[in-house]
Amino acid sequence: MITENTKMVDLVHRNYSLISVLHRFGIALGFEDKTIREVCREKDLDIRFFLEIINSFLDHDYFPREHLISFPLQLIVDYLTQTHQDYLGKRIPEIEAIISDSENPCYEKEEHNFLLIKFFREYKNELIVHIRREDEKVFPYTLQVEQYYLTGRGPDPLTGYSIMDYLQEHDDIEEKLFDLKNIIIKYLPPPRNPDACYHVIAMLFDLEKDMQDHSRIEEKVLVPKVALMEKSIREQAHGDKSSGV
Sites of contact with Fe ion (CB under 5 A): 134, 218
Question: Nearest distance from residue 131's CB to Fe ion, in Å?
Answer: 6
Nearest alpha carbon to residue 24 among 65, 84, 93: 84
Residue closer to Fe ion by CB (options 134, 210) is: 134
Give 35 or 83: the residue with its C-beta nearer to Fe ion.
83
Taking the complex as a whole, the smallest distance from the CB of residue 239 to Fe ion amounts, in Å, to: 34
Nearer to Fe ion, 34 or 124 (CB): 124
Please, what is the minimum distance in Å from the beta carbon of residue 48 to Fe ion? 23
Residue 63 buriedness (CB in 10 A; 0-12 / 13-18 / 19+) = middle
Looking at the Cβ atoms of 210 and 218, the one nearer to Fe ion is: 218
| Residue 134 or 230 with smaller CB distance to Fe ion | 134
43: amino acid identity, one letter: K
* Least distance CB 191 / Fe ion (angstroms): 31
Based on CB atoms, which residue is closest to Fe ion, 52 or 218? 218
Least separation in angstroms between residue 67's CB and Fe ion is: 21
Q: Between 107 and 210, whose beta carbon lies closer to Fe ion?
A: 210
Q: Are 178 and 205 in contact (CB under 8 A)?
A: no
Nearby residues of 14 by Cβ (< 8 Å), 6 or more positions away: 2, 58
Shortest distance in whole angstroms from residue 86 CB to Fe ion: 11
Q: How far is the CB of 223 from Fe ion (least distance, A)?
A: 10
